[in-house]
Structure 1
Amino acid sequence: MKDWAMKAPAERDTTTINDAIYAGVRRFLAPLRRAPWWLKVTLLYVAARLVSTAILLGAAWHAEESPWGGRQPDYLTFIDRWDAGWYERIFDGGYPTTIPRNDDGTAQPNQWAFYPLFPLLARALSGLTGLGWPAAGAIVATAAGLAAALMIYKLFRNFATPRTALWGVAFFAMFPVSPVLQVPYAESLGIFLLAAALHLLIKGRYWAASPTVLLLSLSRPAGVPFAAVVLVHLLLRWSHRKREPFPARELAGGSVLLFVSVVSAFVWMLIAWWLTGERSAYTDTETAWRGTGLVLFKPWFDAGVELAGPLWGPVLPVLLVVLAALYLNSRAVRRIGLELRIWCAMYLLYLLAVLHPQSSTFRMLLPLFPLALAAAFISTSRAYRWSVLVMFTLLQIVWVVWLWQFAAISTGQAWPP
């Protein structure tokens, strides 16, 4: 009481107003505290997508003419860019029966680099509603993003309290590249299927995981690292079978899942081979954008040399691996569970082996979403967690304005998101 009396009148008034606002917000949000988890996740996801929509609309307002439309395009035109255009070709006419090639025999960019499940779902929605590609693709992507958020919450609840799991979902939904969850890309669908497959694996529901993994491998190229996760998971269960029983039925289901995972890792390559008659149809197409053949790990060392020169350049990928290993062994990351840590490690190794580092690399990091839960584990402080969301929002603006905008560079190309 004495401290209150010593405050200046203006300061007392400000304190009273702040307390009233805080109390009002708490009363307004009180019903949400008792709401079911799926409603909380849905509202969180919708709020995140509204923020991203505002950012995309702001960027569209300042957009110049591009290969996809004129100045200041509308929302659906603006998000129908880059890879969305390739999915639109699949939506309209499927895949070519032969690989288009240059005079020197190298493959030209074509639809075989893009997996079929997402455009097929958009095609199905179009058949039911009569919607064209831009709307159908955006709806499927956004709905799949919501399904991913719900599934990620269920996955995170294996390791965290409801509150921390919800914060992990919030970090995922507001991640700097999260606008891709609502544009006609396959990322949101792939994340949903990946989260579902990881959840089923952790729960030991191997029979249900098998078709999920097959669908995952027809949506995004994640089959190879996932098969590695399944193998490590089963080896650990087998080695611990004396302490934790590994019944014959579960062993059989796990063996089937491992077989399906390995086959699924190569299923799209096999389909491309079968339908084109060319054994290297998929790999030739994938490397068409980089202009060179596939040599494992080499592109990262080449990028290091370009950034830091021939002396220190080769050290950069090694330093990246060391930093990643240290982080994956940190206290916060260890709390997300062994399977999720193995997934992150295997996926990073996969990217290091096959990815040509370029502007799309940021988007390729989205399957590392389990690290969003690790970020929530770092601190329970509201100041820390809200600061992360603010930082992610600002970085969303950077990502959209920098990469989603079309700007031709000196080589005559552009930076794709």
Structure 2
Amino acid sequence: MARRRAGLVPSLQALAAQAGRAVQGWPWWLQATAVYFAARLVSACIFMAAALHQGPNPWLPAKPDYWNFINIWDARWYGQVIAGGYPSVLPTDAAGNVQENAWAFYPLFPALAGGLSRLTGLVPAASLTIIAMLAGWGAALVVYILFRHKAAPASALWGVAFFATFPVSAILQVPYAESLSLLLLAAALLLVVRRQYLWAIPVVVLLCLSRPVGVPFAAMLGLVLLRHLWERFGARQAGNGQREGTHSNGDLAALAALTAAGGAMALAWPAAAWAATGDIQAYTKTETVWRGHDLVPFKPWFDTGVDLFGPVLGLLAPVVFVALFGAMLFLPPVRQLGVELRLWCACYMGYLVVFLHPQTSTFRMLLPLFPLALGAVLVSGSRAYRWTVVTMFLLLQIVWIVWLWAWAQLPGGGDYPP
């Protein structure tokens, strides 16, 4: 019996090696597709297992099926947008405080799903799910192409694996706008890396209508523009012997146009809320409903730090976090991502630190930092290391789904949002 078991291990290893060689012969898009859908299958199994333990909740009876279980939380808001659009008058309570409403949810995702429902007759929940799944698949393919500009094929594919198995990556298959926004973000970053700035303009326009990422993206574009202006003009005038920048005047004009378009579109949705409701603060008032107090830049991070670590360490915690994140961007594996991707990560994290109220939804909002997945891959070429990361991501995905997606009422009412 011991001999049979001993012989079984080499046989399994040989089978795994043979399967690996077979996959390596597939075209890149099929490899990335296989990685993405394998990850989504694992996530689906975790969702179904969690649904079996789901008790009574605000949306469904206990133990819902998979399709109903993934259509809770913000998915219901997108369904409401499809059904009734956005309110022309902000809902308020008896004291005049703005209440939760649809203006917090950007229009592109429900618009596409609503169009699909009208075209096919599908119910909005099904259309939202289909759009999310297809967009997530597209994002995985574009992420691979983007990573290939910075790494070899094997490392780029591992980067897709890290992206597809990240602890909150299950959000890519539920009716949330994250997958669509990530597809557009990856496409916009790819076009910027390729210096196809004019082609990037329509992509950035759509990106700014998918989720609130327009401000950090415009900031990143502005910094890239300043860097290339300095390379072309500043360094030469300074007489420090540096060569002239690689961007022509036409390139700089196109990048400036893209930056202007990004900056304008970053304000488009708040402006639309103002135009529809007559309240210049309609969008910010709506967004801050979920945090329970007015928007004060930086302050929520220090408040959360004090709550978690006390009055002294709590005030230092956000500063230490920002310093560590900044230092990470200069580590050799991350430096291989190039200037544009590193600037995007810096601007997006800066945006979160300035405007975000740290809470359990913060984990989900880290997905736009996906370029760091390739940096994590490049830390080591060891397969043991990379498989360990994927395994840990999947285990943490169980934690995220069971802790945050599944609903369980807290003692004070409600539950932590995913």
Question: CA 1:29–1:305 in 2, change beyond 3 Å: closer, same or farther?
Answer: closer
- Name which of 141, 150, 157 aligns with 1:159: 150
Measured in 2, the distance between the counterparts of 1:144 and 1:186 equals 9
**Other structure's SS at 2:171 match:** helix
Measured in 2, the distance between the counterparts of 1:374 and 1:121 equals 33
Q: Which residue of 1 aligns with 2:160?
A: 169
Moved over 4 A (4+): none
Is the 1:334–1:341 contact (alpha carbons within 8 Å) kept by the matching residues of 2? yes
Question: CA 1:104–1:30 in 2, change beyond 3 Å: closer, same or farther?
Answer: same
Q: Which residue of 2 aligns with 1:205?
A: 196
Counterpart of 2:201 in structure 1: which amino acid?
S
Q: Which residue of 1 aligns with 2:108?
A: 117
**Other structure's SS at 1:378 match:** coil
Q: Which residue of 2 aligns with 1:42?
A: 33
Runs of at least 5 residues in structure 1 that lack an aligned partner in the other structure = 1-8
**Other structure's SS at 1:103 match:** coil
Q: Which residue of 2 aligns with 1:401?
A: 402
1:72-104 CA distance string (max 9 Å, x none)? 101111011111111111011110011112233
Q: Which residue of 2 aligns with 1:367?
A: 368
Measured in 2, the distance between the counterparts of 1:275 and 1:396 equals 39
Counterpart of 1:312 in structure 2: which amino acid?
L
Is the 1:68–1:80 contact (alpha carbons within 8 Å) kept by the matching residues of 2? no
Measured in 1, the distance between the counterparts of 2:154 and 2:43 equals 23
Shift of 1:276: 1.2
Measured in 1, the distance between the counterparts of 2:150 and 2:167 equals 24
Q: Are residue 105 (structure 1) and residue 96 (structure 2) matched?
A: yes
Measured in 1, the distance between the counterparts of 2:54 and 2:276 equals 40
Q: CA RMSD in A?
A: 1.4
Measured in 2, the distance between the counterparts of 1:82 and 1:385 equals 33
Counterpart of 2:302 in structure 1: which amino acid?
F
Higher deviation after alignment, 117-126 or 163-172 = 117-126
Q: Which residue of 1 aligns with 2:238?
A: none
Query: Counterparts of 1:98-247 in structure 2 under 5 Å?
Result: 98-241=89-232, 242-247=243-248
Q: Are residue 302 (structure 1) and residue 303 (structure 2) matched?
A: yes
Q: Which residue of 1 aligns with 2:411?
A: 410
Shift of 1:248: 2.6
Measured in 1, the distance between the counterparts of 2:338 and 2:361 equals 28
Normalised TM-score (structure 1): 0.95
Q: Which residue of 2 aligns with 1:5?
A: none
Query: Counterparts of 1:286-325 in structure 2 under 5 Å?
Result: 286-325=287-326
1:11-46 CA distance string (max 9 Å, x none)? 5x5554333322233333433212111010011111
Q: Which residue of 2 aligns with 1:6?
A: none
Is the 1:68–1:77 contact (alpha carbons within 8 Å) kept by the matching residues of 2? no
Query: Counterparts of 1:275-294 in structure 2 under 5 Å?
Result: 275-294=276-295
Number of positions where the alignment pairs a residue of Structure 1 with one of Structure 2: 408
Is the 2:228–2:252 contact (alpha carbons within 8 Å) kept by the matching residues of 1? no
Q: Which residue of 2 aligns with 1:90?
A: 81
Counterpart of 1:246 in structure 2: which amino acid?
H
Measured in 2, the distance between the counterparts of 1:37 and 1:343 equals 26
Is the 1:175–1:396 contact (alpha carbons within 8 Å) kept by the matching residues of 2? yes
Q: Which residue of 1 aligns with 2:259?
A: 258
Shift of 1:209: 0.7
Q: Which residue of 2 aligns with 1:4?
A: none
% identical aligned pairs: 51
Shift of 1:328: 1.6
Shift of 1:353: 0.6
